[in-house]
Structure 1
Amino acid sequence: MKDQYNRNINYMRISLTDRCNYTCFYCRKDYKEHFKHEDILSYEEILTICKCAIQLGITNFKITGGEPCIRKGYIDFISQLKQLPVTSVTLTTNGSLLNHFDLERLKEIGIDGINFSIDTLDSNEYQQICGKNKLNLVLDNLSYASKIGIPCKVNCVVDEKFNEDKFKMMLSLIKEENIHLRFIEMMPMKYADANKKMELCYELLRKYEAEQVDIHLGNGPAHYYKIKGYQGYIGIIEAIHGKFCCSCNRVRLTSLGFLKLCLFHRDGLDLKPYLKDEKTLLEKMSEIIYLKPQAHNFENEHSTTIMNEVGG
């Protein structure tokens, strides 16, 4: 459907849970308490919302958390969602709770892609960032997913420690395998500050003679580059210095049932009161999506959004 600025809103990110087994510094909140299980949407309720979203032309879905794999039954839910008239269903995960059997099930039900969050290939730094050293397990799952034919991407947040050594290290993931590596600008959320390292990304792309390519991989805003001799592509996502609000195509559903229109703004609507009346639910979703804000304001201030509650 079109919003008030004539953007085609066709993509919904669905947070299954605010819980995560990691404590990454750019995402975590002060973990005083989590949402109560009885307060989060059931899978049946999420599917009801998805059916209305599909009627509005939203047919691309990203399953997120917190860490979505921490919620019991998430693969069965994805299977049910895939049975609806959708265009794509993908998963973003830290990869530490997956195993080969899970990946084979996801392949069987037709998952359209998995994004693995991996910010470093240095085990000590990985431990510092995530609070757990599961790097070898995550890399094994990434390799196996790619091997069995699941399209895979790696999301790497560009933090203050980003340098050429890390850039070169991360490139090793896409040298021999058809995995795509995305460097993501860190946004100034409530518990994380922005940084000025994205320019270094471009300097390194020039140094390694990466050429920008006209290719679109998935539903995100990344622009892609290719280095000769590498199987995978490099994507750059800049929400601040490469502000893409004019083409933003997404809304976010929290695990509590709040339809959030923009990562920065508080605008949105609690859908829970309308779940028993699909006609009203459809009308309310249409009305609120139409009012999606024109742009974020990350370049000027922090957002009060808490990342683990909305899944990025």
Structure 2
Amino acid sequence: MILHDNWGRQFRYLRLSLTDVCNMRCDYCLPDGYQRTHDDSFLDTAEAVRLVAAFARLGTRKLRLTGGEPTLRRDLPEIIRRGKQLPGIETVAVTTNGLKLGRHLESWREAGLDQINVSVDSLTPGNFALITGHDRLQQILQDIDQALADNWRLKVNAVLIRGQNDRELPAFLHWLRERPLTLRFIELMRTNDNADYYQRHHLRGETWLRQLVQQGWEELERKEDAGPAREFRHPDYAGRIGFILPYASHFCASCNRLRVSARGDLHLCLFTEQGYSLRDLLQHDDQQDELCARLQRLLENKGEHHPLLAEQSGGNRHFAAIGG
């Protein structure tokens, strides 16, 4: 049995947020830093594993652990290890801002982690500090190089921001030439908290995509468990480039991922008005059948498209809330 919706889409990819706390202050997400808005605690280790086990029974093959910043959870290695051991889970990945990347590589390897995504929105130290609130670019880049030397599968995410990193395409290409990783450019998306920022800084990703195609980059076939990025390769580069373009037509047609917040709410889309609580069915191992039935039933509520083209952001205050 595979999770599916009324539009014929199958869901084999779970993005599980472990916390909405973040230790960066990115302009487009948490410019004033983390502000606690809930009294409920985050899912504990056992609850998280029970959740992933139910998704695995329903065909999920890829698990991404995200946040907020998941490295702020001391039990992250244990969640990685137990998630990877679940029957059906083939890939476990972590998305991190990279501030603590170097100190975790060894424990993540021992736990069985398959892939790391690191956010690097600029290769210029001043721009990086302006965007994130941290002057730590060089340390993060050094840790990325160490991870590559250790043969980690790496993706690097950069949000496109007009007026801040929109002239850095040549620098990104130079950096990618000798590094065997996937560099993904993400189009800035509107949330409830960043509407004014979005209007000032939104940059259409197709602008850079067209430049790269003219330079000989060729699009790759999309894999079944891949995320939303369109990926490209070039014979002169060790790395690949991906584009996540949520405002493009048919973006939602290939959706294969579901999100669960750090407090156990299922979000059928990043921009839905509400989440559906699953936590009452995460307390005991013998609740798996009921949890699986609820998950499939809730999929009947998933819409065909996200509301961004109608300039609506649903209930998403910021990306840290449900894992971006």
Rounded to whole Å, the distance in 2 between the matches of 1:30 and 1:311 is 18
Q: 1:28 is matched with which residue?
A: 30
Rounded to whole Å, the distance in 2 between the matches of 1:217 and 1:8 is 10
Rounded to whole Å, the distance in 2 between the matches of 1:188 and 1:72 is 31
CA contact (8 A) 2:61 2:225 kept: no
* Structure 2 alignment gaps of length 5 or more: none
C-alpha deviations, 1:126-169, integer Å up to 9, x for none? 11100011111111111111111110011111111266640111
Instruction: Say which of 238, 254, 266 aligns to 1:259.
Output: 266
Rounded to whole Å, the distance in 2 between the matches of 1:30 and 1:281 is 37
Q: 1:46 is matched with which residue?
A: 48
Q: How many residues align?
A: 311
1:90 aligns with 2:93: yes
Shift of the 162–213 alpha-carbon distance from structure 1 to 2, 3 Å rule, reads farther
Shift of the 31–152 alpha-carbon distance from structure 1 to 2, 3 Å rule, reads closer
What amino acid maps onto 1:279 in structure 2? D
Q: Let me know the Cα RMSD of the aligned residues.
A: 2.1
Deviation at 1:36, TM superposition (A): 6.1
What amino acid maps onto 2:97 in structure 1? N
What amino acid maps onto 1:295 in structure 2? H
C-alpha deviations, 1:80-105, integer Å up to 9, x for none? 111112021101111111225x2122
TM-score, with length taken from structure 2: 0.89
What amino acid maps onto 2:236 in structure 1? G
Q: 2:7 is matched with which residue?
A: 5
Q: 1:235 is matched with which residue?
A: 242
Q: How does 1:165-244 map to 2 (within 5 A)?
A: 165-192=167-194, 193=198, 195-214=202-221, 216=223, 219-244=226-251
Comparing 190-199 and 83-92, the one that deviates more = 190-199
Deviation at 1:237, TM superposition (A): 1.0
Q: 1:99 is matched with which residue?
A: 102
Deviation at 1:31, TM superposition (A): 5.1
1:289 aligns with 2:299: yes
Q: 1:145 is matched with which residue?
A: 147
1:78 aligns with 2:80: yes
What amino acid maps onto 2:290 in structure 1? T
- What is the SS of the residue equivalent to 1:39? coil
Shift of the 35–80 alpha-carbon distance from structure 1 to 2, 3 Å rule, reads farther
Rounded to whole Å, the distance in 2 between the matches of 1:13 and 1:110 is 17
Identity of aligned residues (%): 31
TM-score, with length taken from structure 1: 0.93
* Structure 1 alignment gaps of length 5 or more: none
Rounded to whole Å, the distance in 2 between the matches of 1:41 and 1:10 is 21
Shift of the 242–178 alpha-carbon distance from structure 1 to 2, 3 Å rule, reads farther
What amino acid maps onto 1:310 in structure 2? I
C-alpha deviations, 1:101-122, integer Å up to 9, x for none? x212222332121111001010
Rounded to whole Å, the distance in 2 between the matches of 1:255 and 1:147 is 32
Rounded to whole Å, the distance in 2 between the matches of 1:97 and 1:241 is 34
CA contact (8 A) 1:164 1:204 kept: no
Rounded to whole Å, the distance in 2 between the matches of 1:40 and 1:122 is 35
Comparing 207-216 and 300-309, the one that deviates more = 207-216
Instruction: Say which of 271, 275, 286 aligns to 2:282.
Output: 275
CA contact (8 A) 1:18 1:67 kept: yes
Rounded to whole Å, the distance in 2 between the matches of 1:189 and 1:226 is 31
1:302 aligns with 2:316: no
CA contact (8 A) 1:185 1:239 kept: yes
CA contact (8 A) 2:160 2:203 kept: no
